[in-house]
Amino acid sequence: MVRNEPFGNSVLFSRPVFALTAIYSVPVLLPSLFGWMLGMLAVPVAFILSQKGVKQSGNTLAVSLLLAGSISFFSGRLLIFASILPLIALGYSLFQSGQKKRSPAWAAACGLATLVGCLLFFQLLYTQGTGSHPYHQLVNTIDAGIVSAGDMYRQSVDVPADMQEELAAVLAGMREWIPKILPALLISMLLVTVWMNQVLWNGLLLKTLPKMAPWQPYATWQLPEQLVWLPISAAACYIFGPGSWKVIALNGLIISGVLYFFQGLAVFFHLLNRWKVPGYLRILFYGMLIIQSYGLILLSLLGVADIWLNLRPAPIGPDSEERKPTD
């Protein structure tokens, strides 16, 4: 009689285990080639949970992560593997948000809180173990990098005296302002990570398991209307507020720009679909947005304009209504 052990051979040697182990091992072992995958490793967790449920996929995930962690340990890349653990938690958070019928914006907020909580926990462990704060180390590393880049440029190129003064002013400005806006830059990176995994997971489900997809296509996603007061308040504080408020206001503007870039991109996709733009023209438009230095700003403004101009019609049907949290 065969016993149904939770970590039996049927789980250990199954194809999903091998596939997930490869997914979580390859970017760690070959970061120079597949390092771009590290930011998207919440998608496999959320997908397999959606496909099989927590009870059936829990053992598969546990065995896969244990094998990937062992491979990382013996290859001397355990620290890189540890950096993807917050993404595992993000994948579970997104899955739970889908199960609880949360709206895309609310699911992203929960995912961001999960990432921040995990990173603060690892930061505490790092500080206790090394006696140094990683944020301060990051600030010092960036400052040293700016100084080193300026020195290398002066040594490699014969820079005229007037250009040296301009270069020194630019470097001094970077050394002054980058530490001030670093919190917004870090939060923006986390927002992009959450958004990227959320969009990819939902899109993958729409293609393969449409009944399991928690939300409609990305082109229909909207931010809460009340959020528009964030960029308005930040802009007002930056323009009319005292000097001590300008740094906080600038950080708020950067975060607002990233949030409304997401909405502006959704509006852009909606307009392309409405006007039935051919694929080759879409590629051209995407390239123009990437190359154009003001593309991000234009999409952010488009996202803000969608609040008042209603560039997208309201979704029709009960399945397309904005889902609110049930808890």
The model's pLDDT over 103-133, given as tens digits with 9 standing for 90+, comes to 999 999 999 999 999 999 999 998 998 888 8
Domain that residue 44 falls in: 1-215
277 is written with which tokens?
Answer: 């733009």
Same domain, 184 and 194: yes
* Confidence check: pLDDT of 161 > 80: no
Mean pLDDT of 153-181: 83
* Confidence check: pLDDT of 312 > 60: yes
Q: Report in angstroms the alpha-carbon separations of 198 from 62, 95, 158.
A: 22, 10, 48
pTM of the model: 0.89
* Confidence check: pLDDT of 320 > 50: no
Contact between residue 18 and residue 67 where contact means Cβ atoms under 8 Å apart: no
pLDDT given at position 14: 80
Please identify, among 188, 215, 242, the residue that sits at the C-terminal boundary of a domain: 215
Q: What is the DSSP letter of 160?
A: -
Same domain, 202 and 254: no
* Confidence check: pLDDT of 61 > 80: yes
Contact between residue 217 and residue 59 where contact means Cβ atoms under 8 Å apart: no
Please identify, among 156, 184, 215, the residue that sits at the C-terminal boundary of a domain: 215
Same domain, 300 and 210: no
* Domain count within the chain: 2
Same domain, 86 and 76: yes
Rounded to a whole number of angstroms, the distance between the first and last alpha carbons of the chain is: 44
| Of 40-49, 64-73, 148-157, minimum mean pLDDT range | 148-157
* Confidence check: pLDDT of 192 > 70: yes
> What is the per-residue pLDDT across 194-250, written as a single tens digit (0 to 9) for each?
999 999 999 999 999 999 999 999 999 999 999 999 999 999 999 998 888 999 999
Rounded distance between C-alpha atoms, residue 19 and residue 72, angstroms = 16
